[in-house]
Chains A and B, each alone.
Chain A
């Protein structure tokens, strides 16, 4: 037989334990089983101005920023610009096939894209939207989204430190997106000087060489 006073203390202890468990499990406010509800059960006269914290499950994943200064040597073959851009993007995230040998890394990228069905010396990249590049990037853990973007849209994305690669329809050339430089988009260009574009793409060139299919990294 337990005395009523002791029984009451045991019940209160159980409520306290339940309240602490609720907080640990991220259930802070509202009805049971929340911390607010159990504390309210301990003392119904309490007025609780409950405020929810941001929980670990609610925090967005950290953005893994690429190295915008990753090198981009000139391409050896005229049809490999897409592979060079894709390979550059993987290396910028530390996920290149062979970081010690860029040309070997590019060769592996060509085969990963799918030589000769998806990329070849006659046409370059067969699907100009970049779907095969997205697949290769996804296979190494770089998730991307594709869209046909304006200069202002690409500039805004690049200014946030998000990388990607893009191809201009009239340019017929793929490059990497390093960031921004003044009022231009700072690019990783494997064919510097081709159609008068080196390391920067300004608004005039963008409009002259577009439309641009852009493959932008969303998670890496």
Chain B
């Protein structure tokens, strides 16, 4: 495995970790308004989504 492949796998592992955290936040009802939310983890995965998201999360009331 060369260095480029190693870097790609490292990035995939980080993304998988963040997706896992995003799904955990979703299951726990934290969708918007902070780092440990679905929105927060999505922006961490892809900063290019900043200003592009239109959240409409489930209602828990």
Contacts of B41 in A (CB 8 A): 20
B-binding residues in A (CB < 8 A): 2-3, 6, 9-10, 13, 16-17, 20-21, 23-26, 53-59
Write 25 A-B pairs (CB below 8 A) sorted by A numbering: A3-B5, A6-B8, A6-B9, A9-B12, A13-B12, A13-B16, A17-B15, A17-B42, A20-B26, A20-B41, A21-B42, A21-B49, A21-B53, A24-B31, A24-B42, A25-B54, A25-B55, A26-B55, A26-B57, A53-B58, A54-B58, A55-B57, A55-B59, A56-B57, A59-B61
B57 touches A16 (CB 8 A): no
A56 touches B39 (CB 8 A): no
Contacts of A20 in B (CB 8 A): 19, 22-23, 26, 38, 41-42
Contact residues of A: prevailing secondary structure: helix
B3 within 8 A of A: no
- Complex Cα gap A59–B26 (Å): 19
Contact of B59 among A6, A25, A59 (CB under 8 A): A59
Smallest CB–CB gap between B38 and chain A, Å? 5
- Complex Cα gap A185–B49 (Å): 56
- Complex Cα gap A9–B55 (Å): 27
B56 within 8 A of A: yes
A25 touches B53 (CB 8 A): yes
A6-B5, A20-B19, A21-B49 known; A26 vs B56 contact (CB < 8 Å): yes
- Complex Cα gap A53–B56 (Å): 11
A13-B12, A17-B42 known; A24 vs B53 contact (CB < 8 Å): yes
- Complex Cα gap A53–B58 (Å): 6
B58 touches A55 (CB 8 A): yes
Contacts of B57 in A (CB 8 A): 24, 26, 55-56
